[in-house]
Chains A and B, each alone.
Chain A
Amino acid sequence: MPSDRTKISNSRSGGPSRLRRILTCVALCAFVLLLSELFLRIYAPVPMLPRYIASAEYGVRMNMPNQSYAHTTPDYEIQIQTNSKGIRSDREIPYEKPNAKKRIVALGDSFLMGYGAHPDEMLLNVMVERLRAAGEDVELVNLAVSGFGNAEELVALQAEGMKYEPDLVLIGWHGTDLDDNVRSGLFDLQDGKLTRAAETFLPAVKSREILFRIPLYRFLAGHSQLYNWFRDKVGEAVKTVLADVRDAQSAAAQAKQLEPTAPAPAADLRQETAEESAEDVSYAERLTLAILRRIDQVSRDGGAELLIIDIPERLNRTTFRSAYPLGPGFEDFNLFSPLPMFEERKGELLYWERSHGHFTPLGNRIVGEGAADLILERNLLGPPRE
């Protein structure tokens, strides 16, 4: 019996041509890719939620204008359509407010943009319908963009939202906002005062703009589970590595700052470290509070009230929690939290469980109706217009 080594040498001398070998390799690669796609569809379906994001001229992200694309997940398939200003809507909304109408300008992330919901199921549209049913002639301008934090919301409100002459500004509060506000670097605190620190925050937007011009890429983003799975995995890995590097750098920097001139008891060092990390947390909160106050100020300057909608975090189907800070100053705003209503309905499907955890139609309805009731109760839209 010839050995493996012999077999290999035989195949080299009288075997298939180079071209044939290359073609075989290509065919095998295609076979593997097809099988992988099939595997994911059968064993581990992946949500396909392409984000059509572009850079707005005011330096932050916006939804790509005039797009129509699908979000397909194991839970749902919805169509997303944007108008010429990137608003998720099938109609154009002029800046000028029609007489007798009241306007709500909403800013937030994917929850407010309505991921996981058809247009009539989106919490903001449910809210508007309820307000209309209560006799309010109200119109919605939904400037929410997936991934937005409060810092970007402030920039978008100042540059774009106020042009719509809102009567009520509505923003979503999500658990990631504290970190996002610091990470964006758009604002910082100097002597306790909110200061614009960067003109732009456009993470990976340029590459997206280029990629989404390529038809094949658009097809893969909207139809290939393998591509979406791969992108999510790489994204997660990069985030983990960056977080680890950041932690290591921060630990090293902290250790350097704590270097004692004379030997200090370990307990003292631990105490100091704890105080410093408490200070870090409070910086994120202080910055966020300043941003929210500025949003409130901008809204009031334009004659609008501000309402914050708290998006609770889902721990499991029966446990939710609010990430809205409890620190001083945060209670000054009009806040709507659906947490008590969620508690009443716990056990029901309020969040999609296989699709990045956005609200189901039921979750959207509870939040939308609750927010509308609060707006009516507190008369946040003001008196009826002539």
Chain B
Amino acid sequence: MLFNSVEFLVFFVLVYGLYLAFQKHYRWQNVLLLAGSYFFYGWWDIRFLFLIVITTVVDYNTALIIRNGTSSARHRIVSSLYLMTASLLFLTLRWDALDFSPLWIGDSPELDLLGLLPRSLAGWSGFLLTTAALIGANIVYFVMIRLERDVRARVALALSITVNLGILGFFKYYNFFADSFAVLFENALGFTPDRFTLDIVLPVGISFYTFQSMSYTIDTFRRDVEPTESLVDFAAYLSFFPQLVAGPIERGKNLLPQFRRPRSLDWEQIRQGMWLIAWGMYKKVVIADNVAAIVNGTFGPYDGADPSSIVPDDGLRIFVAVLAFAVQIYADFSGYSDIARGTAKLMGFDIMVNFRLPYIAKDPSEFWQRWHISLSTWLRDYLYIPLGGNRSGPLGTYRNLMITMILGGLWHGAAWNFVIWGLYQGTILVLYRFFDERGWRLPDFRGKGFFKGIVMFGFVLYGWLIFRAQNLETIRIFTLSIFGHPHGSPETFAEFKTLLFYAHPLIIFQYLQVRYATLDPMAKWPLLVRVAIWTFIIMSILALAPSEGGEFIYFAF
């Protein structure tokens, strides 16, 4: 279910109405949020809900084992029942046996309840395998509790990380590595092995909730978070629909406690929530979706595995397309994050800010403190610092930076351009650090900050070229085109004009955010100004959004 769809509007109105009705019973609200979130996610593909349930059950018990040394019989029984019910509901039952379409012609719906049950053994395989896996997991558990308590906690954490990365690796990276190894064999050994690629569909948001869940168990291990005894609370935290499919990747210590106490609502929260939703929606449907036409018009013909290798002679047009992509990806992703934050705020939750005006960054380090903050801090806390961070000497630090950024690139998708993008980001971070450590800085002059911002933005733009290109050949020829043939045409000018037409309100608003040093400058503006801005935003969404809106870019990651 997309935020920018009628289905979501209907869904949210219903869920929110019920949520407000349960305002005095926060535990019922949690149950409602859990059911609503599963419905929200299952709208794409009900089968993938089972993956979320596996992650939920594994990490819920892992955290309890890490903290208490054991998972009590009650917790294990509840978890087992939860997993088996999920297996039955999401993998086994044939929901297409319920046909409501006859209602359209005044007939009664066909509710063949017996038809819900699979008729063949293969249809029950998911349920049987789940049962077998549960038996196996309990055996592992009884073996594990014989270990020393400290060792037990480490083993439990290792098992949890293995399960999480196993699922993520299989669904996201299996084909990439299978293909890459085949090519490696071909090049190195001169023979072509059989390629065991599978027809795997990437579950939406798997990278986001997997990282969120891993941070919970690791933080429990580090004693940074108190694990919850309530499976409902944890399941609702992990599947919280506003940020389930594209973040922010929340930390247990911030979001989980909010599920464990009553949430209060006040007008200021509602005002902020409504504004974040409207502003996020504006960024997505007005800016990102319209600017996408410029990006796709230039990159589209080069997408795919076998693009042209002729260097385009209109490098200025490529540059405008890259600029447009910088606007598109920022408006798309930060728009999603704003809608997520706004939706959560309407329900009394406070989730983290994911973007802080990233394009005003003056150096690579600052950029990563402003762009996709929930991922960059995750990588810092759970990868860069455990690798040794900056405590391993200059070379060690550079190595850690490179590893972190390459894996960060790979997190975005199983493709070589993301690896190269990570490598590129790592390189500019290392170079920046290298120069900074030696005190090689620009002399002071008027407009130095602005100059640094422009240079940094140039580096960011080149990064976006690597990121958007779907193959290495496109990166090569577009680079040669921009730097070797910087020519334009009337179409280039027209595309630039279109880009400015859609992006100028964003630029103005961001200027005001910088000027007033707040992400919410509107709060203190006079009523008439606020009404005028609201009118502009609403009318833009209604009148300027293309009829065919696109999915959010980060759904694919």
> With A249-B105, A252-B105 given, is the CB distance from A35 to B535 under 8 Å?
yes
Contacts of B105 on A, CB cut-off 8 Å? 249, 252-253, 256
State the B residues within 8 Å of A (CB).
99, 101-105, 107, 266-268, 528, 531-532, 535-536, 539-540, 542-544
Contacts of B528 in A (CB 8 A): 31
Q: B266 touching A43 by the CB < 8 A rule? A: no
CB pair A43 B531 closer than 8 Å: no
**B543 and A252 contacting across the interface, CB-CB below 8 Å:** no
Known: A31-B528, A31-B531. A4 touches B268 (CB 8 A): yes
Q: Is A333 an interface residue (CB 8 A)?
A: no
Nearest-neighbor residue (CB-CB) of B501 within chain A = A43
Contact status A40-B543, CB under 8 Å: yes
Cβ-based interface call for A251 (8 A):
yes
| Given A4-B268, A43-B540, A256:B535 Cβ within 8 A | no
* Contact of B266 (CB < 8 Å), options: A4, A229, A248, A256: A4
Residue pair B543, A44 in contact (C-beta under 8 Å): yes
Contacts of B107 in A (CB 8 A): 252, 256
Contact indicator A40/B104 (Cβ below 8 Å): no
Q: How far is the CA of A253 from the CA of B102 in the complex (A)?
A: 8
A39/B266 contact (C-beta < 8 A), A28-B531, A252-B102 known:
no
Closest to A248 in B: B104
> How would residues 39 to 58 of chain A score, 1 for a CB under 8 Å from any chain B CB and 0 otherwise?
11001100000000000000
Do A229 and B104 contact each other (CB < 8 Å), given the known contacts A32-B531, A35-B535, A39-B536? no
**Cα distance A31–B532 in the bound complex, in angstroms:** 8
Q: Does A354 contact B (CB under 8 A)?
A: no
18 sampled A-B residue pairs with Cβ under 8 A: A4-B267, A4-B268, A36-B535, A36-B539, A39-B535, A39-B543, A40-B539, A43-B540, A43-B544, A233-B542, A245-B104, A248-B104, A251-B101, A251-B104, A252-B104, A253-B105, A255-B99, A256-B102
Chain B residues contacting A28 (CB-CB under 8 Å) are 531
Q: What's the minimum C-beta distance from B489 to chain A, rounded to whole angstroms?
A: 15
**In the complex, A378 has a CB within 8 A of chain B:** no
Q: Are A35 and B268 in contact (CB under 8 A)?
A: no
A157 to chain B, nearest CB (A): 37
B528: min CB distance to chain A, Å: 7
Instruction: Please determine whether B539 and A248 come into contact, CB atoms closer than 8 angstroms.
Output: no
Instruction: Tell me whether A255 and B543 are in contact (CB under 8 A).
Output: no
Kindly list 7 other residue pairs between chains A and B, CB separation below 8 angstroms, not including A3-B266, A255-B101, A256-B102. Answer: A4-B266, A31-B528, A31-B532, A35-B531, A35-B535, A249-B105, A252-B103
CB–CB B536/A8 < 8 A: no
Q: Nearest CB to that of B267 among chain A residues? A: A4
Neighbouring A residues of B535 by C-beta, 8 Å: 32, 35-36, 39
Q: Which residue of A lies closest to B268 (CB)?
A: A4
CB distance from A222 to the nearest CB of B (A): 20
A91 interface residue, CB < 8 Å from B? no
In the assembled complex, which residues on chain B have CB atoms less than 8 Å from the CB atom of A35?
A: 531-532, 535-536, 539
CA distance A32 to B533 in the complex (A): 10
Bound Cα distance from A44 to B542, whole angstroms: 10
* In-complex Cβ contact of B543 among A4, A229, A245, A249 (8 A): A229
* Interchain CB contact under 8 A, B104 and A249: yes
List of A residues within 8 angstroms of B531 by Cβ: 28, 31-32, 35
Interface of B, secondary structure class, is helix
A252 to B103, CA, bound (A): 8
Question: Is A18 an interface residue, CB under 8 A from the partner?
Answer: no
Task: State which residues 190-245 of A face B: CB under 8 Å.
Answer: 229, 233, 245
Docked complex Cα distance between A233 and B103 (Å): 28
Q: How many angstroms between the C-alpha atoms of A251 and B539 in the bound complex?
A: 36
Report B-chain residues with C-beta under 8 Å of the C-beta of A8.
267
State whether the Cβ of A20 lies closer than 8 Å to any Cβ in chain B. Answer: no
- For A37, give the chain B residue with the smallest CB separation: B539
- How far is it, in angstroms, between the C-alpha of A3 and the C-alpha of B266 when the chains are bound? 10
Which A residues are in CB contact (< 8 Å) with B101? Answer: 248, 251-252, 255
**Residues of B with C-beta under 8 A to A256:** 102, 105, 107
Instruction: Write the chain B residue with the least CB distance to A36.
Output: B539
Residue contact B104 to A43, C-beta cutoff 8 Å = no
Tell me the minimal C-beta distance from A156 to chain B in angstroms. Answer: 34
Interface centre among B266, B535, B540 (most CB of A within 10 A): B535
Closest to B540 in A: A43
* Contact B102 A39, beta carbon cutoff 8 Å: no
Query: Would you call A385 an interface residue if the criterion is a C-beta within 8 Å of the partner chain's C-beta atoms?
Result: no
Name the B residues within 8 Å of A253 (CB-CB): 105
A348: min CB distance to chain B, Å: 16
A28 to chain B: closest residue by CB: B531
Q: How far is the CB of B116 from chain A (nearest CB, A)?
A: 18
Q: Within the assembled complex, what's the spacing in Å between the Cα atoms of A256 and B267?
A: 52
Contact across chains for A43 and B267 when beta carbons are under 8 A apart: no
Q: Looking across the interface, which residue of chain B has its beta carbon closest to that of A32?
A: B535
Considering the chains assembled together, what is the distance between the CA atoms of A245 and B105 in angstroms?
Answer: 10
Smallest Cβ distance from B440 to chain A, in angstroms? Answer: 47
Q: How far is the CA of A245 from the CA of B107 in the complex (A)?
A: 15
Chain B hits for A4, CB < 8 A? 266-268
Give the CA-CA distance A329 to B64 in the complex, in Å.
Answer: 79
Q: Contact flags (1/0) for A1-25 with B, using CB distance below 8 Å?
A: 0011100100000000000000000
* Closest chain A residue, CB of each to CB of B103: A252
Residues of B within 8 A of A40 (CB): 539, 543
Shortest beta-carbon contacts, A-B, top 5:
A44-B543, A252-B104, A252-B101, A35-B535, A39-B539
Rounded to whole angstroms, the CA-CA distance of A31 and B534 in the bound complex is 12
Closest beta carbon of chain A to B294's beta carbon, Å: 16
Q: How far is the CA of A43 from the CA of B535 in the complex (A)?
A: 13
A35-B267 Cα distance, complex, nearest whole Å:
26
Task: Report the Cα distance A249→B544, complex, angstroms.
Answer: 32
Q: What is the CA–CA distance of A30 and B14 in the complex, to the nearest angstrom?
A: 31
Nearest CB of A to B215, in Å: 34
Contacts of B539 in A (CB 8 A): 35-36, 39-40, 43-44
Return chain B residues, CB-CB under 8 Å to A32: 531, 535
In this complex, what residue of A is CB-closest to B533? A35
| Bound form: Cα–Cα A32–B537 in Å | 12
- A251's nearest neighbour on chain B, judged by CB, is B101
Nearest CB in chain A to that of B105: its residue: A252
- Nearest CB in chain A: distance from B79 CB, A: 39
Q: How far is the CA of A39 from the CA of B540 in the complex (A)?
A: 8
Considering the chains assembled together, what is the distance between the CA atoms of A115 and B105 in angstroms?
40
* Across-interface contacts of A245 in B (CB, < 8 A): 104
Docked CA distance A233–B542 (Å): 9
The CA of A233 and the CA of B544, in the complex, are separated in Å by: 12
A257 → B minimal CB distance (Å): 11
Question: Bound state CA distance, A120 and B99, in angstroms?
Answer: 59
* A237-276 vs B, Cβ < 8 Å mask (1 yes, 0 no): 0000000010011011101100000000000000000000
A256 to B102: give the CA distance in the assembly, Å: 8
Residues of the B chain whose Cβ atoms lie less than 8 Å from the Cβ of A255? 99, 101-102
Chain B: minimal CB distance from A12 (Å): 14
CB-CB under 8 A from A233, the residues of chain B are 542
* A residues near B543, Cβ cutoff 8 Å: 39-40, 43-44, 229
User: Chain B: which residue is nearest A253 at the CB level?
Assistant: B105
Q: Which residues of B contact A36 (CB under 8 A)?
A: 535, 539
Residue of A with least CB distance to B539: A39
Give A34 to B444 CA distance when docked, in angstroms.
Answer: 49
Q: Is the beta-carbon distance between A5 and B536 smaller than 8 angstroms? A: no
- Give the distance to chain B from A255, nearest Cβ to Cβ, in Å: 7
CB distance from B111 to the nearest CB of A (A): 15
User: Bound complex: CA of A43 vs CA of B541, how far in Å?
Assistant: 12
Give Cα A197–Cα B267 distance, bound, in whole angstroms: 59
CB distance from A229 to the nearest CB of B (A): 7
Residue of chain A at shortest CB distance from B100 = A252
Query: Which chain A positions have C-beta within 8 A of B536?
Result: 35, 39
CB distance from B290 to the nearest CB of A (A): 11
With both chains docked as a complex, state the minimum distance between the C-beta of A275 and any C-beta of chain B, in angstroms.
21
* A200 CB to nearest B CB, Å: 27
Cα A255 to Cα B96 in complex, Å, equals: 14
Most chain A beta-carbon contacts within 10 A, residue among B104, B540, B544: B104
When C-beta atoms are compared, the residue in chain A nearest to B534 turns out to be A32
Cα distance, A8 to B267, chains bound together (Å): 10
